[in-house]
A and B are shown apart, each in its own frame.
Chain A
Amino acid sequence: MSAALNRPAIRALVVKDWQLFEKQLAAYVLAGIGALALIGHAQRWSFYVGSLMLIIIMVAVACFAVSTSLLNERKDKTLAFVMSLPVSPLDFYLAKLIGNLITFGLPFLILAGGAVAVTLSTPVPDGLITLVLLLCAHQLLAFCLSLCVAMQVESEGWNIFAMIGSSVLINPLMAGLSQIPDIARHWPTNEVVWSWQALAILAAQLLLSLALLGYTSWRHLRKQAFY
């Protein structure tokens, strides 16, 4: 498979996506640093505003990466141009996958790292780290689901549904987690306890994210044409 890949073209397509979305990414990163600084300001109001900003930015980044690089390009009919390039459908798919993972991954890692730092280095109880990481993993899963749908389904309606639906599920997830005593009872304490339930949910989120990416890749490996 690797011999058939046009690596320079894949690289060029990834760089193209990066350059197109760099400005918006920079704005997200700036907002993310602002949110973390607000949380670090150690005032009650700034903590809530910062935390809210952080969640909004994470959701926005996940939607932004998918909608700009896949849905908007589809609407702008850039595929016809891409088909004129010396790239195979697999090259194009890999370029989109890598580009999206970078566009989402860079701010996601900064924000997730910041959220962990908030929990461990402020008076916020350390026990909340399980909730923080489960919410971050949910956001990762939501992104993978949106990406998977965007790469397989052309309908804009379904894509919007997948993006909003997966992101909004963060509320029932929080509510559900708070109903599991072995997870929730450690949140107000300074002890970090990874119960088997928390580990199972985290593992399921990560494995499902990987499975979604794997399934999409498998589908694209079988594709002979761009459509």
Chain B
Amino acid sequence: MIRAMPFGSTGNNSEAATVFGQLLPLIEKALLSNYRLPPREASEVEQRLYDWFQRFCRRPGSREPEALRSELLLMACRAGHVYSVSRLEDLLSTDERLKRSLTLGPEIIAIEIEKVLEKPHTGDSGKDES
């Protein structure tokens, strides 16, 4: 599902919004599939990521938004990771994909997702689509 952009925005960096919009399908997929967030929670995290990314791009030392895609994906995976860890006991026993995502850690999952971005026709970022 690709949500219409822009989000309810607090920032005003259109370049950052464009980059976020390009990555949103992957972020959403990661949150829903890799980290098993319920859709409503995933939407909230996406909104927060959007606001964060707007500010992140304006920090001293930040490059142009296009060059910060990896940081955005990594933060999305960290957010998913933290959320899922907090629900670990409920979910881990039944969900192999989640178990894999949490075992590998957000850094590895973000890299897997980024590889999908580089090869847009090769399919999913995880091993077992469910």
Q: Do A and B come from one complex?
A: no
The interface of chain A, by Cβ under 8 A from chain B, is none
